[in-house]
Amino acid sequence: MTATLVTTPTPTTGTVASPATQAETILSIRNLVTRFKTGDGVVAAVNGISLDIAAGETIGVVGESGSGKSQLFMSVMGLLASNGRATGSVKYRGQEILGLAPAKLNRFRGSKMSMIFQDPMTSLNPYLTIARQMTEVLVQHKGMSQSQALKRSIEMLDLVRIPEAKRRIGMYPHEFSGGMRQRVMIAMALLCQPDLLIADEPTTALDVTVQAQILDLMRDLKREFNTSIVLITHDLGVIAGLADRVMVMYAGNVVETGAVRDIFYSPQHPYTEGLLQSMPRLNSDRHAELPSIGGQPPNLQDLPPGCNFQPRCRYAHARCLAEEPALRPCGEGSAGVPRAKACHLAQLPLTEADRAVIEADRAARTRH
């Protein structure tokens, strides 16, 4: 199957809806498709994702490297590389922002929606002091005077627990440790109190202790500001204590979504099941080999037919090769969070009926 820049993948997937709360929808993404043109073909990075994010909620976005997590939100922020193009719709509080000119988008970026990255140096200017970088944002977006901006910046650094903030604000990024730089970046992202913070692998480069401190900090900030948070990570462990709901991505699609505890305790998609099985457990033998999902993520320039996960799925059967599964509701879902998955199976663990279909299919294939 060769993807082109104009085709909308079929079938149209369902919307990953917010929980049934009264909270206002901050961001509404509809059928987002992101393509990159390269010398040897078109990369289908995001394949028709729809998602609502409500005020104050935290969404964990998980999936192996290359599943389209970053590019989904780079598309939302208007930060795609020049060979990329996103189509569909992204509404911030009802206003369409996909494809806005950079000057117009800048009114949203930073002040309404902020994004932070694994490497803080991608957001911090190495040649300017932290004071200069922070105050500039407040003077520009909030019309503060220099002294008001400096006072507010120091307060923010205090809030993210940078010791001696008053003195350190005069320092350059390289004078901070990795963990402290990540705190500075979070402080900068929250300076204008955005409605939405998109954190892309914010703790991946940090050691375990610092990682835990940063996650604690994000939990506290979420309480303090009621900011909606998108937490992008390849590590399911990171989202366990922070996210309200989880969206699992594979090959640019949403394959499963639901409340954190549903995803952890009763995964309904074989890919999620595989991700969980490859997670290190506290009580497991540290030296034992972790089971990982066999095979490689698919080539996004030439996706497999039917279900994209089919070449790696232990439950794959004839229908999976013939028909791409749509995202559809599955089960009740706890805490009012709807559950959905894109898989032909009725449920996991397998029903007798599904087991029979898979076994009959295997028997037929060995006969041929």
Binding site for ligand ADP (CB under 6 A): 36, 38, 43, 45, 63, 65-71, 81, 83-84, 300
Q: Comparing C-alpha atoms, which of 4, 100, 87, 1 is closest to residue 50?
A: 87
Residue type, 8: T
73 vs 315 by CB, closer to ligand SF4: 315
Part of the chain binding ligand SF4 (CB under 6 A), chosen from 134-142, 152-160, 169-177, 343-351: 343-351
**Is the separation of the CB atoms in 19 and 336 below 8 Å?**
yes
344 binds ligand SF4 (CB under 6 A): yes
Q: Is residue 133 within the footprint of Mg ion (CB under 5 A)?
A: no
In residues, how long is the chain?
368
Residue 147 CB neighbours (<10 A): 9
d(CA 75, CA 80): 6
State the residue for tokens 């640019």: 252
Asked if 70 touches Mg ion (CB under 5 A), the answer is: yes
Using CB under 6 A as the binding rule, the residues of this chain from 238 to 297 that contact ligand SF4 are 270
Return the one option of ligand SF4, ligand ADP, Mg ion, none that residue 9 interacts with (CB less than 5 to 8 A, by type).
none
Q: How far apart are CA 303 and CA 281, in angstroms?
A: 32
Please, what is the minimum distance in Å from the beta carbon of residue 265 to ligand ADP? 24
Q: Count CB atoms within 10 A of the CB of residue 5.
A: 12
- Cα-only R_g, the chain: 22
From ligand SF4, ligand ADP, Mg ion, none, interface partner of 343 (C-beta below 5 to 8 A by class)? ligand SF4
The yes or no reply on residue 307 touching ligand SF4 (CB under 6 A) is: yes
Please choose which of ligand ADP, Mg ion, ligand SF4, none residue 15 contacts, taking the beta carbon within 5 to 8 angstroms, the exact cut-off set by kind: none
From CA 347, how far away is CA 126, in angstroms rounded? Answer: 51
Residue 71 binding result from ligand ADP, ligand SF4, Mg ion, none, given CB thresholds of 5 to 8 Å by partner type = ligand ADP
Strands 41-54 and 253-259: unpaired
Residue 345 interacts with ligand SF4 (CB under 6 A)? yes
Contact pattern for Mg ion over residues 27 through 66, marking x by CB under 5 A: ----------------------------------------
Q: How far apart are CA 50 and CA 28, in angstroms?
A: 8
Tokens of 98: 């996909």
Residue 9 is classified by DSSP as: P
Contact 92, 157 (CB under 8 A): no
By beta-carbon proximity to ligand ADP, the closer residue of 89 and 301 is 301
Which among ligand SF4, Mg ion, ligand ADP, none contacts residue 268 (Cβ within 5 to 8 A by kind)?
Answer: none
Phi-psi sector, 160: left (phi>0), alpha (psi -120 to 50), beta? alpha
Between 88 and 270, whose beta carbon lies closer to ligand SF4?
A: 270
* Closer of 73 and 315 to Mg ion (Cβ): 73
Q: Which parts of this chain interact with ligand SF4 (CB under 6 A)?
A: 270, 307, 309-310, 313, 315-316, 320, 325, 343-345
Residues that bind Mg ion (CB under 5 A): 70
